[in-house]
Structure 1
Amino acid sequence: MYNNTRATGTWYERKSAEYLKGQGLFILKYNYRCRHGEIDLIARDNEYLVFIEVKYRKGSWSGRALEAVNFAKQKTICKVARYFLAVEYHNVDIPCRFDVVGIDDKKVYWVKNAFEYMN
């Protein structure tokens, strides 16, 4: 379908965004980047600001998609979220959560509050 992993990732991030919109989330940002890293999607879910990591796996030989969001990746996401909150919300106290969308072949798994914020 695609000739490189970035294009494939972008395609599945867009598909995940459509899925999440169908679940009532409002997507604010796609591929938010800063010096600390990247967050695939940033959305609103009622009162929550949601930072979302999307992972896709074509087959199980490289592990499940959800397993790819390891401790190091979680820490990076938290750093980017902290930066986003400082720049865009001027550190206003707003409830946040960290979700993960895993796509194994064609099956979508959405884990709300997949991990806690860490410094």
Structure 2
Amino acid sequence: MPHSSRQAAGMAAEQQALDFLLNKGLSLLARNWRCKRGELDLVMLDRDTVVFVEVRYRLHAGFGGALGSIDARKQEKLSLAAQYFLQQESHWANHPCRFDVIALQGSGHSGQPLDWLKNAFDS
């Protein structure tokens, strides 16, 4: 898939994940939040819990698919970015936090079921 098509598919997957979470009652705090430590796809609020959501889209299930792509290195990177977010947005620092993953797989993913893994890993 050409870079622009891949990028468009990733953006569409992220929008689908955001719509899904908003429909589940979560509120958006930040989208594509960037820092020197990396990027957080979605930062949501689930009641009083700050939720760092990694959205993963894969066309094929090879190499573990979308869920399998969150390895220890990626988890560490997300954890560092989340810590930096909480330092920069200190009013959220005393709230409970968790890391969720939303995985979408296959072509034409818009409207197709997604996997929402709550508490996907510990920081």
> TM-score, normalized by length of structure 1?
0.90
Deviations 1:34-60 (Å, cap 9, x if unpaired)? 001001000000010000000011222
Q: Deviations over 1:52-86 (max 9, x none)?
A: 00001122234321111111011000000000000
CA distance in 1, matches of 2:81, 2:34: 8
- CA distance, structure 1, for counterparts of residue 82 and residue 41 of structure 2: 11
Partner of 1:21: 22
Given the alignment, which residue of 103, 110, 115 partners 2:116? 110
Q: Counterparts of 1:97 and 1:113 in 2: how far apart (Å)?
A: 6
What runs of 5+ residues in structure 2 fail to find an aligned partner?
107-111
Q: Secondary structure at the match of 1:4?
A: helix
100-109 or 29-38, larger mean C-alpha shift = 100-109
CA distance in 2, matches of 1:81, 1:16: 19
Give the number of equivalent residue pairs: 117
The reply to whether residue 46 of structure 1 matches residue 47 of structure 2 is yes
Q: Give the deviation of 1:95 after TM superposition.
A: 0.3
Q: Which moved more, 1:55-64 or 1:101-110?
A: 55-64
**What amino acid sits opposite 2:55 in the alignment?**
V
Shift of 1:90: 5.6
Residue 84 of structure 1 aligns to a residue whose secondary structure is helix
Partner of 1:65: 66
Which letter maps to 2:104? Answer: I
Paired residue type of 1:27? L
**Pairing of 1:71-110 with structure 2 (within 5 A):** 71-89=72-90, 92-105=93-106, 106-110=112-116
- Does the C-alpha gap of structure 1 residues 91 and 41 become closer, same or farther in structure 2, counting only changes over 3 Å? closer
Report runs of 4+ in structure 1 exceeding 6 Å deviation. none
Q: Aligned-pair distance for 1:115?
A: 0.3
Shift of 1:27: 1.2
Q: CA RMSD in A?
A: 1.8
